[in-house]
Amino acid sequence: MSWFKREEHQIVPTPDHEVRTEGLWSKCPSCHKVIWKADLEANLQVCPSCGHHFKIDARKRIELLLDPGYELVDLDLKSTDPLSFTDLKRYKERLAQAQKKTGLNDAIINAVGTIEGQPLILSVMEYAFIGGSMGAVVGETIARAVDRSLETKTPLVIVSASGGARMMEGIASLMQLAKVSAGLAKLDDAKIPYISLMTDPTTGGVTASFAMLGDLNIAEPGALIGFAGPRVIEQTIRQKLPEGFQRSEFLLEHGFLDAIVPRKELKSYLAKSFAWMLGQSAPSA
């Protein structure tokens, strides 16, 4: 059977042989170039033209950072609805939707594995789950990663991607900030290294607590990092904010970050940093 037919001297593909191309391309929000999704995937979701770092999910992040053979842990916790929160949409419904969309119980995954052979505890926030907001389950899961790190004397990395505290859990959400920060203080006393990796976006209570408490606080390029959003700050101080305010580069320049590390270099950067912190190697330039 021919896959085309002649129509007024033109060759027109028959509908069953049309190649559907939508969904195969992405547009870079920074340089506006259209990128083939397979190229983007091969480049770790970084725009090949301008280096814009697209968001990646928690599972992909773990796969990217840890050596093969890692294990996902602490997966059993589930949020309840402590305040019977009913504003706009019922919280229970939002939780159910987010669980269906991400296949996770909440906005966090803990993993145990190695990074270039060095044992590591990893806790990664999932932005696609209600904006990576931190409620009791996220806080408790991170606290468990901290405890595990303390018990096994293994370095810790927390990868933040969060809009901040989860309003629908009220004070239970805010209490997590103190709980995780207290755990990190114990880690500090035990001289076990912790590196905080901030990705786009890291805001609110997460920035105000564990994301800025690393022995090294590092970020991916171009990530939005801050406490309140720029609009709220402008309205409060009645001043226009400078260009690039709250982006990684601005924060590095003003001393709030130790380094900006492109996604491709993250794994070796973290492995080298831990080797140096644990006295296994001299610092490289």
Q: How far apart are CA 150 and CA 192, in angstroms?
A: 7
Give the nearer residue to Zn ion in terms of CB position, either 49 or 84: 49
Nearest alpha carbon to residue 61 among 124, 132, 112, 113:
124
Q: How far is the CB of 29 from Zn ion (least distance, A)?
A: 8
Q: How far is the CB of 30 from Zn ion (least distance, A)?
A: 5
Give the nearer residue to Zn ion in terms of CB position, either 52 or 263: 52
Give the nearer residue to Zn ion in terms of CB position, either 31 or 38: 31
HSE, side-chain direction, 13 A CA sphere, residue 1: 5
Which residue shows structure tokens 């340089």? Answer: 31
Q: Which residues bind Zn ion (CB under 5 A)?
A: 28, 30-31, 47, 49-50, 52
Nearest alpha carbon to residue 210 among 272, 153, 134:
134
- What is the signed CA dihedral for 235, 239, 240, 243, rounded to 10 degrees? -110
Q: How far apart are CA 225 and CA 155, in angstroms?
A: 24
Interaxial angle between packed helices 170-189 and 136-152, expressed in degrees from 0 to 180 and rounded to the nearest 10: 10
Give the nearer residue to Zn ion in terms of CB position, either 43 or 181: 43
Q: How far is the CB of 32 from Zn ion (least distance, A)?
A: 7
Tokens of 249: 């580069």
Give the nearer residue to Zn ion in terms of CB position, either 30 or 43: 30
Q: How far is the CB of 59 from Zn ion (least distance, A)?
A: 24
SS3 state of residue 202? strand
Q: How far is the CB of 199 from Zn ion (least distance, A)?
A: 17
Q: How far is the CB of 31 from Zn ion (least distance, A)?
A: 3
Q: How far is the CB of 221 from Zn ion (least distance, A)?
A: 12
Q: How far apart are CA 181 and CA 202, in angstroms?
A: 16
What single string gives the DSSP state of each residue in 74-100? --------TT---SSS-HHHHHHHHHH
Give the nearer residue to Zn ion in terms of CB position, either 54 or 256: 54
Give the nearer residue to Zn ion in terms of CB position, either 38 or 50: 50
Tokens of 255: 């001393």
Tokens of 20: 């559907």
